[in-house]
Structure 1
Amino acid sequence: METATGALSRVSTRLVLLLTDEYKYNLPKSMREGTMFLQSELESLEFALKKLSNTPTDQLNIQAEILARDLSELSDDIEDIIDTHMTPGKLNKKAKFNLMFRCMIATHMIATQIGDIKSRVSEVHERCPRYFLVIDDIWDISVWQTIRRALPDNDIGYIIITTTRNFGVAEEVGGAYKLKPLSLSNSQKLLYRRIFGNENKDNIEDIDKCLNKELAEVSKRILQKCGGVPLAIVTTASLLASKARNEIDWYDVYNSIGTGLSDSTDVVNMRKILSLSYYEMPSHLRTCLLYLSVFPEDYKIEKDRLIWMWIAEGFIQCENQGKSLFAIGDSYFNELMNRSMIQPIYERYTGLIYACHVHDMVHDLICFLSSEENLVTILNGVWYTSPSKLFGRLSLQYGKEDNSKPLRIASLEHVRSAVVFPSAFCVMPVLRRFRVLRVLNLQDCDLSRGYSLEYLGDLFHLRYLGLCATHIAQLPQQIGNLKFLQTLDVRGNNMFSLPSTVVQLKNLMCLYIDEFTRVPNGIGSLTNLEVLSTLDITVSIDIIEELGQLMKLRVLHILLFIGWSGRLVECLSKLQNIEYLYIKIFGDNQWDFGGLDAWVAPRHLCRLDIEWPCWFSTLPARMNQSYLLDLVYLSIAVRDFGQVNLETLGRLPALRLLKLSVDPKNLGTLGGFIIGAGLFPCLVLFQFGGSIGPIVFQQGAMPRLEILNFEFCVQAARQIICNGDGPELGLGNLPSLQDVKIYLRSRGASKEEVRELEAALRHAAEIHPNLPKHQICG
């Protein structure tokens, strides 16, 4: 198929040559029109053929192979005609007429052939499957039947693969294919990569040489018991990585596995292997892991939400005076991740971990152990506790009205946590039934349908209150009674103000509210706050003074009136623990220049996101590679900005996302920028606005850049970077580029100049090896 596509492309190019001034006037009008028709038809056919060539060869039938052969022969015929017409030398009138006549007949015949082939290509293309659908982890036949009803009736046009651990589901879908276990060689690679990390080598023989004979032997025996199951191998490897490299400790692991999975993939055996890592963990990590059973299978668990819940449960104790509870909880999270008990979910651009998944086999284990140890009672149709059993922690994941009777009968006086999901909210008991509740999480449940928060103030022991997206308009005044409350999350609601009694919550460490929700006077008394998002200080400038009293703040999101940023600097200078600062400016269209100039970023700043039109006069002090080692996200506007400043930012070691705006009035005549080798080593997204001239990327710059978005002036570009072939931006020097957006400011340039530059930039993007998506407009 690729041969036919290349042949068509070659012939199409030669037809263009035939229509140049040198040859077209030697053609009669009818033949010129025929040639133009052929060129158009071939371009259309080439496009269809390219789409067909994207179909895997094993999915193409014999008809497509015949088409490819016919197209190659057709291309040869057309080339023969072209070569005949372009034969050098003069011909007599009769010979010339005969030649023209033969060419016209051949052209007509070829046009007919092309029409036929186009129809055949379309037919083959329609018979090929163009989507591929993967449905992961189906547990029940009824689930598949629901999905099947949403699909087309016929089976032409798509391929479906499902994964399941239920053989009956596989048979119902259309037949089972049992995945083969990993080979010994691949099992060794997976094991050693997890144990040795950067020490690992691709060649297994080289790794074996690093081990003594006994370790090499016991590792092979361990892998035999793992039976080629990746999860078993990774889990076991995580356990071995924490042990000394001696055969005694490794044989202890081998003997603990028991019969393993070498002869069976039974869930019980897999659970036994996973439980080895569980029992090797210290007790505080075990408790934190089992607590994950409050979340349903495949649930995306937000990292910060989980840590605040751990803190509220009392699972995290202060180990030393210099470290916050949240920082300790963060270390617990990382340790569970390093032990492969949870799977991290990364933000695309910053690379920071913001959530996690729990593998379904690990989830099965922790639900089993949690039930055995009576840590969490789960109501989801699978895990169930008898009504006579005392509830310590409730996770209501799925329920119907007729299932609610056990909860009404059972004693709820000892329930310490209630985590409720929308599909089970119908069985949620009323709040007055609880007495010692420490965690109440109703996120995403609709409380507007009659569920009352009237008795919320009676939950004196409450530490965590999650009411995000629950459709509430206000909190009761009695919330001030919750003296132990540490986390309050009321985002995603139509709540315009917090009760005045909120300022009595002296133990509050985390406050999540919407940007339009007003806080009462006295917010400065909440001196234990570490997270405050989002604080609206457009109502009263006095709140800025109170903000300066919250010395423990790590995360701060602010709404501010333009012109008040100068007053904010003194406050921010006191908040030296800030890791994430977001400032959004409101006001008229006048830019606020220099309001934040005196501010010095704290050393541990990780994200700085200042929405325009709040401008720094110059790049803030100490924004360099030796001071801001942790900065990964920077969105900033700078009035006076030059090449030196760009290079300063380019040396920040962890920076992954940069949104930069500059003032074109201060960039001189041309204002172009050059990004040299070694700059921005980790940057993934770069957005640059306000530049007069373009940015030129040299070899070795921004090796990880995926998203590029910037603007510049057409005239400046022509003066700086245009040569005879077009602009030399150096897009080809960005090896990871996936998406390009360039806006051309056309003032002072002709329409033709703009069109030429647009075309040249598109060409630069189209010839990039990655074929990035691109949008170039003037």
Structure 2
Amino acid sequence: MAQAVIGAMGTLLPKLADLITNEYNLQRGVRGEIMFLKAEMESMETALLRISEAPIDQPPDIQVKLWAKQVRDLSYDLEDSIDKFMVRIETHGRPEKSHSFRNFIDKSLSLLTKGKIRHKIGLDIKDIKSRIKEVSERRDRYKVDSVAAAKPVGPAIDTLRLSALYKKATELVGIDENSLEVVEMLTEGDMVSQKQLKVVSIVGFGGLGKTTLANAVYEKLKVQTDIQKQKLQFDCAAFVSVSLDPNMKQIFKSLLHQLDKLTYQSINEASWGEEQLIREIRTFLGDKRYLIVIDDIWDKSVWENIKYALIENEYGSRVITTTRVLDVAQQAGRIYRLKPLCVVDSRKLFYQRIYDMENKSPPNQLVEVSERILKRCGGVPLAILAIGSLLSSEKGRAHTHEYWSKVYKSISSGLDNNHDDVKNMRRILSVSYSGLPPHLKTCLLHLSLYPEDYEIEAEQLIWKWVGEGFVKKERGRSLYEVGEDYLKELVNINLLQPVLFYDVDRNSRCHVHDMVRDFIISLSHEENFLTAPDCQQLEYLPSKIRRLSLQTMNEQVGNQLATVSLSHVRSLSVFTPAFSLLPALLGFPVLRVLDLADCEVDNTHWNDICNLFHLRYLNLRGTSITKIPKEIGNLKFLQVLDIRSTKIEEELPSTFAQLTQLLLVHMLNSITYAVPRWMCSMSYLFFLSITLKTLEVEDLQFLGSIVSLTELEIEVQKPTQDRVNRLATGSAYPFLCLKMFSVKSDTMELRFGRGAMQSLQTLKLDFQNVQDTVLQFGDFALGLENLSSLKDVHVTFEKDDSVLISCAENEMEKEIDMNRNKPILKLAPLGNYHNAHGFKEELFLACASPPRPL
């Protein structure tokens, strides 16, 4: 199994670089030590990357794995030391400029304290340096950089793919219907289209049976005859596999050999280059009707290369491709999304594998546990066959409830790596994993923190990645936008599956297939990446817990956690209300991510929370807190705060302005404001959702002055009754970076004047009461023509008034027609909005024209 992650290297190395600068005024000797650490850690990062890229079937030597683990632990500990230093420096911050005697004393004490802090970081770094020297010596001792990989364990991936081509007929359950659908896609159309080259791409994640299906279609079409001419429909046929790291010359030679074995019987001995091989294939296929399967394509550039060889003649040729990557499928041709087996076919395949005969069912006492196992397999043939093999291999005890339950628990926890079939199943998934860059491997492993069948909010997930430091900075782009790309890539390669997900937006949801979850839990255990204890696994708790996910909580789990050190935990996510059984939060001193949504949290917990100085992400949504204390200003590094659906009754304290690193604040449905004047100073704020009592000129001024604000959601509780003219927002309220603006209000009180919101691309309007809007303002003139960058306008009407809705639609269409950017108007029919600030995207997916209201 390839090594998973590179520890804290991604965030550690930039921090080491910062420490060397003059800003922290470290002693010259300490700066020299840090330069040494930085050089050593960069060298070790290179070695870790090389280890992580080891071939799937040639895992690193055990000594190399141990060395890699020590380096990762070192990187975590060193980053913790540096962060503690930075927190202390920030906590004893810079005194205000003043000439008072008291201020002179404060400044002197602060400098003295900072001197002690710098001395302490010097001692910590010397300790880390000695550990690094030990690890470096071990690296030389075991020749980590040149150590020979272990011998392959189990069959190679190509062998597994070969077995998919020659499945026994009894194992091809559910294939008939799928193959008929693919054949229909390849053969449908009129006489003109029948003569054109058609390409169908079968797409799905590993183990779903893409190769098996492609081969079934291939064999079916290859032997079909033309009824009128009594000859094979295709002049020639070939089936080639590409794989993750393809040898293109060998692929083209294999194509030629299969297309004409007699002419190209010695092709493997030829020294032809890639270009010459492509020309030869094109010449050969020029006057022939061909059938070709290109199996397991991973990269768009590889498909482009192969496509050059597949000449588009007028003989009705057909090409089938298989891939795990959605982008490749979209580029290749028409898409056939391979779905998991239905429940009936899953059972049939499962019992056939166990009992080696058809129509055999388990005894009554095993029915319930077998259904749980099948649910875990999720209709994936490879998983069903692997677990079926595991159950059938132990003949003496294979039919006992105790054994089947043990198998279920072991695969649910990702711990069972001993059986060959389970290894092979994970080996198939690991091909997708091994091709990922290190930051995406880390993001994928992070998904193991979510419980089974959990619907993951895209926004929450991305901000957690940001808080953990997984998202790399890119010039000209926000961290959230970069994180969105990470999420899209995991969806693109079918390791993460959409629930409500047609494009990554704040309302998107996704989930992890059970088999993928089992795979990443297995890796998490191996790498000590994340710990998710339950009653069955308490004995597996590691000595150093870095990330903790509490998916079940009872006294047994609580008592066990009380016996282990939690001082290294960086991330804590609690998915159970029984928060009171958890050890005190003060026992988590380096916590960066804290998710307590819907937990039993109230104001008594604020003292602990406000002393978690390292916090980047804090989610208290749906808790019972009623206020935010002034001590919140202690959280200098906080980037994300979610206090939606709480019981907060008081306004934010002025110390909130000290949270200068904030990127996102969710306050909808918690408290009605402001916009307080100090909010203008939050220079990094990327996203804000806020509930306003009323909308006033001052609100627009303060919000428009937040220089980095990119997305803004506001909900106006009560309209200003005496207002007869709409508030006009124009160049006076800059909103320099705003790209998405969402407004929910009884009456739409805003009008966009010339020069307004010049970066705005998406506008979401939620009309609570159309009639009141007309009564107050007499029209729907919103000035949409003045939004020069506008691309999309999403509108929801929450009350049924077909006449007024039609009038509103007509006026907005007129304004949009005048907009030189020609934005698209999308109206959600009544009752079909997803929530107050998002829309069910399926309403708008693939619509030639925007849907009309009912």
TM-score normalized with structure 1 length: 0.51
> For the structure 1 residues 388 and 628, does the alpha-carbon distance in structure 2 shift closer, same or farther, using more than 3 Å as the test?
closer
- Gap change, CA 1:251 and 1:383, over 3 Å in 2: farther
Q: Distance in 2 between matches of 1:343 and 1:579?
A: 27
Equivalent pair of 1:548/1:571 in contact (CA under 8 Å): no
Q: Which moved more, 1:259-268 or 1:497-506?
A: 259-268
Partner residue of 2:827 out of 648, 653, 657: 657
Whole-Å separation in 2 of the counterparts to 1:351 and 1:507 = 23
Q: Report if aligned partners of 2:621, 2:645 keep a CA contact under 8 Å in 1.
A: yes
CA contact (8 A) 1:185 1:204 kept: no
Q: Tell whether the 8 Å contact from 2:705 to 2:733 is kept in structure 1 after alignment.
A: no
Determine if contact 2:528/2:542 at 8 Å carries over to the other structure.
no
Aligned: 1:628 with 2:651: no
Q: 1:306 to 1:283 in 2, by over 3 A?
A: same
Is 2:714 aligned against 1:569? Answer: no
Cross-structure match for 1:474: 627
**Within 5 A, what are the aligned runs for 1:127-526?**
180-183=173-176, 185=179, 192-194=201-203, 216-218=239-241, 237=296, 239=298, 243=302, 264=386, 266-320=421-475, 322-346=476-500, 354-381=508-535, 384=538, 386-387=540-541, 389-423=543-577, 425-448=579-602, 452-496=605-649, 497-515=651-669, 516-519=671-674, 520-526=676-682
Question: Which structure has the larger Rg over C-alpha atoms?
Answer: 1
C-alpha deviations, 1:153-202, integer Å up to 9, x for none?
Answer: xxxxxxxxxxxxxxxxxxxxxxxx999253584797899233999xx9x9
Judge conservation of contact 1:444–1:468 (CA < 8 Å) in 2. yes
Match of 2:700 among 541, 544, 568: 544
Given that 1:377 and 1:385 are in contact with CA atoms closer than 8 Å, whether structure 2 keeps it comes out as: no
Alignment match, 2:687: 531
Decide whether aligned partners of structure 1 residues 457 and 242 sit closer, same or farther in structure 2, where only a CA change above 3 A counts: farther
The answer to whether the 8 A contact 2:444-2:520 is kept is yes
Q: Counterpart of 1:629 in structure 2: which amino acid? A: K
1:251 Cα deviation from its structure 2 partner: 13
How far apart, in 2, do the equivalents of 1:386 and 1:643 lie? 62
Deviation at 1:366, TM superposition (A): 1.0
Contact 1:565-1:595 within 8 A present in 2 as well: no
TM-superposition CA deviations, 1:319-372 (whole Å, max 9, x none)? 22x111111000101011101011112269999861111111111111111121
* Matches of 1:241 and 1:607, distance apart in 2: 34
Deviation for aligned residue 1:438:
0.3
Cα 1:424–1:707 shift into 2, 3 Å: farther
* C-alpha distance in 1 between matches for 2:296 and 2:571: 34
In 2: Cα distance, 1:280 partner to 1:350 partner: 23
| Cα distance in structure 2, aligned partners of 1:451 and 1:605 | 43
Query: In the aligned structure 1, how far is the partner of 2:585 from the partner of 2:731?
Result: 40
The correspondence for 1:583, drawn from 737, 743, 747, is: 743
Contact map agreement 1:238 1:338 (CA 8 A) in 2: no
CA distance in 2, matches of 1:650, 1:178: 59
Check whether the contact 1:683–1:705 (CA below 8 A) recurs between aligned residues. no
Distance in 2 of aligned mates of 1:282 and 1:221: 14
Distance 1:389 1:241, change over 3 A: farther
Are 1:483 and 1:504, in contact at CA under 8 Å, matched by a contact in 2?
yes
Aligned to 2:258: none
After superposition, the Cα gap between the structure-2 partners of 1:523 and 1:261, relative to the gap in structure 1 and judged at 3 Å, is closer
Give the unaligned 5+ runs of structure 1.
Answer: 1-176, 223-235, 254-258, 661-681, 687-700, 710-778
Partner SS state of residue 406, structure 1: helix
1:283 to 1:484, Cα distance in 2 relative to 1, 3 A: same
Instruction: Kindly state the Cα deviation for residue 437 of structure 1 after the two structures are TM-superposed.
Output: 0.5
Say which SS state the counterpart of residue 607 (structure 2) adopts. coil
Matching residue of 1:750: none
* TM-aligned CA distance change 1:556 to 1:704, over 3 Å: same
Q: Which amino acid aligns with 1:580?
A: M
Q: 2:706 and 2:822 mapped to 1: Cα distance?
A: 29
Check 1:384–1:237 CA distance in 2 against 1; reply closer, same or farther (3 A cut).
farther
SS of 2:549 mapped into structure 1: strand
Aligned-partner Cα distance in 2 for 1:221–1:521: 55
Q: Is 2:828–2:852's contact at 8 Å kept on the other side of the alignment?
A: no
After superposition, the Cα gap between the structure-2 partners of 1:585 and 1:192, relative to the gap in structure 1 and judged at 3 Å, is closer
The answer to whether the 8 Å contact 1:346/1:352 transfers is no
Contact kept, 8 Å, 1:509 with 1:531, in 2: the verdict is yes
User: What is the SS of the residue equivalent to 1:708?
Assistant: coil
Mapped to 1, the partners of 2:543 and 2:237 lie a distance apart of: 50
Q: Which amino acid is the alignment partner of residue 711 of structure 2?
A: V
Look up the SS of the partner of 2:425 in the other structure: helix
Letter aligned with residue 407 of structure 1: L
Q: Compared with structure 1, are the counterparts of its residues 538 and 621 closer, same or farther at alpha carbon in structure 2 (3 Å cutoff)?
A: closer
* Root-mean-square deviation (Å): 4.9
Contact 1:489 1:512 in 2 (8 A): yes
Provide the secondary structure at the position in 2 that maps to 1:577. coil
Instruction: State the identity %.
Output: 31
Q: Distance in 1 between matches of 2:699 and 2:539?
A: 50
Letter of the structure 1 residue corresponding to residue 761 of structure 2: L
**Residues 269 and 415 (structure 1), Cα distance of their counterparts in 2 relative to 1, 3 Å cut:** same
How far apart, in 1, do the equivalents of 2:244 and 2:757 lie? 54
| Structure 2 Cα separation of the partners of residues 325 and 289 of structure 1 | 17
Letter in 2 for 1:527: S
How big is the shift at 1:708? 3.4
TM-score normalised over the length of structure 2:
0.47
CA distance in 1: counterparts of 2:821 and 2:696, whole angstroms: 40
Residues in 1 aligned to 2:818 and 2:712: alpha-carbon distance in whole angstroms = 26
Q: Post-superposition shift, 1:646?
A: 7.8
The 1-side partners of 2:384 and 2:745 are apart by 62
Q: Could you tell me which amino acid in structure 1 is paired with residue 175 of structure 2?
A: L
Distance in 2 (alpha carbons) for counterparts of 1:399 and 1:593: 48
Per-residue Cα deviation, 1:677-709 (whole angstroms, up to 9, x for no partner): xxxxx99479xxxxxxxxxxxxxx976777732
Deviations 1:59-87 (A, max 9, x none): xxxxxxxxxxxxxxxxxxxxxxxxxxxxx
How far does residue 377 in structure 1 lie from its aligned partner after superposition?
0.6
Q: How many residues align?
A: 467
Q: Residue type of the partner of 1:274? A: L
Long gaps (5+) in structure 2? 1-169, 186-199, 223-231, 246-294, 307-320, 325-380, 388-420, 798-804, 831-840
